[in-house]
Amino acid sequence: MESCQLALQERFPGLQLECRLDERGILTLSGQCESWEQLVSAGHAMAKQPGIKNVVSEMTVKGMELPRTDYSAHKQAGEAIGVIEKVDVLIIGAGISGCGIARELAKYDLNILVAEKTEDVATGATRANNGNIHPGHAVKPGTLKARLNIKGNRLYTKWAEELGFELQRCGGIGAVTDGRLIPLLEEAYDTALQNGVDGVEIVDAKRAYALEPGFARNGEDKIVAALWLPSTGLVEPYKVAVALAGNAAENGVRFWFNCTVADILHDNGIVQGAVTSKGIVLADTIINCAGLYADEISAMAGDKSYTIHPRKGVIAILDQNRVPYYGSLAEVIDMETVIAAKNNPNSKGGGMCRTPERNILMGPSAVEVPDKEDKSTTPEELAYAMGRGERSGIAYGDIIRFFAGSRPAEFTEDFVIEMSEVTKGFINVGGIQSPGLAAAPAIAEMVEGILAESKALVPRKNYNPLRRREIAFRHLSREEQDALIRKDPRYGRIICRCECVTEGEILDALASPVPPGSLDAVKRRTRAGMGRCQGGFCQCRVLEILARELGCDPTEINLAGEGSNVLLAGSRPGKQVRDA
């Protein structure tokens, strides 16, 4: 404790910061910082002190009102309704963590409910990421993140096979163009070995060109060596969440959307349930997968043990006309890039990868922000995200969309996955920043293990881990398309021309176990609106189908969450989607 106070004074002289340490090793910092960046640095510095398990920030920033989430209206609404449900397990949040855990636990005879405050699965960090199934070479050895990254990466093969989503084991390759950079490769190789990355190798130039023919195609003729990471993979992250939720629902898990958890009920150190905006849900196990808000939910359970500091990342998606340069996740590192990165860590960099559907993704950037709801994309962040494109001739005109998502980081920069030490029955799944997507299957297994220590888990009869792969008309051969249309002419009606999405696919999504309720939710499941025109042509047609199938007025259809209605009023009687 004294050493922490001394370290604070040494590192931040002139600042009046106080700290207090509890018996769990949780250090709470209070006092005023000069800037948000300084607050984050103070948290990071103290998290590195010996004996500190984690850091909670009660710090303020001079001249800045730090955003606070106000749960009172939801809490009042829920309390007024009273008890509406009693479940065995309540999972908070339907991102990749919540959906993965729900599906893992669905194999047991448990009454499971997932409460998600937005209108669909995968609307938090799970919506806005690069979809990389990282191999595990870039995470700090010895951390929980490292262990779960490696295990999660391996488990993805089983997930993809059982759940029918696209996983491309494209491999990753980092090549250097200067012999002086080989020590960098060796360093990364050593970390990879320490973490247990599968199949990692340092390869010579000849092998590098053979593994990634894109190097030669793109005129990269100076490669001297490369780090080859064959276990690297790619997924569409929201598709994985939809598949997990769908399979969980088929096995009895229920999902409540537009359902905000506003308080946790606990008595004598034992969890009792939660107050949600839809009423009180009693539960003897609560699993907190609330992403950016996990620290707030944990505090509601009487367990203040970490603070989330959002780290925003901007990503730009390019038109499919811009064919990906590489099949693998490839990167060429030259001396210039290394020197620029050393001199200015905020210099243009970003990153370049592709989606399984072969859109290039540029970015992300990484900026600490105080506001968890900050989804702004500044010109500087976009420029950073596009940085790597300059040498490849990529232009802003290639962008079809850019967006921001925030990583839910805590100060030790690791995952926090444990049964609460203060409130039994409350399991934290917090700090799930990158590689949270890659680690998701291992996170789900770890939570299963934690639950098994506190509850007898009885296997569910008739549990079915398999989910039918949905039809993607654009990927079928001409003959398969013809046969499908003959069977059901609705697959012959193209709704989204850019992505070749048919009415049949939208109806399939609507008939699925966790159906979409908004235009964005349809987009996540079918890709309608994901192409060059970004819904300019098809959005109104999808809207008509949604209104028709949901039996509501078109003005009631939302773009995303509640209150984001696309149409304000009808000017003439609505028409159904024309027959082809």
Ligand X SMILES: Cc1cc2nc3c(=O)[nH]c(=O)nc-3n(C[C@H](O)[C@H](O)[C@H](O)COP(=O)(O)OP(=O)(O)OC[C@H]3O[C@@H](n4cnc5c(N)ncnc54)[C@H](O)[C@@H]3O)c2cc1C
Residue ranges in contact with ligand X by CB under 6 A: 92-98, 115-118, 123-126, 128-132, 134, 260-261, 289-291, 293, 297, 313, 315, 364, 405-407, 432-438
Nearer to ligand X, 177 or 276 (CB): 276
Instruction: Specify whether the CB–CB gap between 209 and 215 falls below 8 A.
Output: yes
Q: How far apart are CA 507 and CA 380, in angstroms?
A: 41
Instruction: Specify whether the CB–CB gap between 299 and 130 falls below 8 A.
Output: no
Q: How far apart are CA 278 and CA 257, in angstroms?
A: 10
* Nearest distance from C-beta of residue 402 to ligand X, angstroms: 11
**Residue 512 is encoded by which pair of tokens?**
């699925």
Name the residue with the smallest CB distance to ligand X.
436
65 by Cβ neighbours in 10 Å (0-12 / 13-18 / 19+) ranks as exposed
Instruction: Specify whether the CB–CB gap between 290 and 297 falls below 8 A.
Output: yes
DSSP bridge pairs for 90: 113, 286
Nearer to ligand X, 367 or 400 (CB): 367
Q: How far apart are CA 364 and CA 311, in angstroms?
A: 11
Nearer to ligand X, 120 or 505 (CB): 120
Nearer to ligand X, 364 or 441 (CB): 364
* Nearest distance from C-beta of residue 209 to ligand X, angstroms: 26
Nearer to ligand X, 97 or 231 (CB): 97
Cis amide prior to 364 (ω within 30 degrees): yes
Residue found by looking up tokens 């103070």 in the block: 42
Q: How far apart are CA 569 and CA 553, in angstroms?
A: 10
Nearer to ligand X, 2 or 70 (CB): 70
Of 123, 173, 132, 121, nearest to 355 by C-alpha is 132
The residue annotated as part of the active site, out of 134, 137, 266, 309, is 134
Cis amide prior to 435 (ω within 30 degrees): yes
* Nearest distance from C-beta of residue 37 to ligand X, angstroms: 18
DSSP bridge pairs for 311: 368, 407
* Nearest distance from C-beta of residue 32 to ligand X, angstroms: 28
Nearer to ligand X, 28 or 126 (CB): 126
* Nearest distance from C-beta of residue 563 to ligand X, angstroms: 15
DSSP bridge pairs for 85: 281
Buried/exposed code over 14-32 (b: 16+ C-beta within 10 A; e: otherwise)? eeebebebeeeebbbbebe
Q: How far apart are CA 364 and CA 129, in angstroms?
A: 8
Nearer to ligand X, 177 or 231 (CB): 231
* Nearest distance from C-beta of residue 15 to ligand X, angstroms: 29
* Nearest distance from C-beta of residue 277 to ligand X, angstroms: 8
Residue 134 known to be catalytic: yes
* Nearest distance from C-beta of residue 337 to ligand X, angstroms: 20
Nearer to ligand X, 172 or 515 (CB): 172
* Nearest distance from C-beta of residue 491 to ligand X, angstroms: 31
Q: How far apart are CA 482 and CA 487, in angstroms?
A: 9
150 Cα distance to chain centroid: 17
**Residue 465 is encoded by which pair of tokens?**
């881990």
- Give the largest CA-CA distance in the chain: 77
Of 562, 479, 463, nearest to 110 by C-alpha is 463
DSSP bridge pairs for 494: 502
Q: How many CB atoms within 10 Å of residue 479?
A: 8
Q: How far apart are CA 244 and CA 465, in angstroms?
A: 10
**Residues with a known catalytic role:** 134
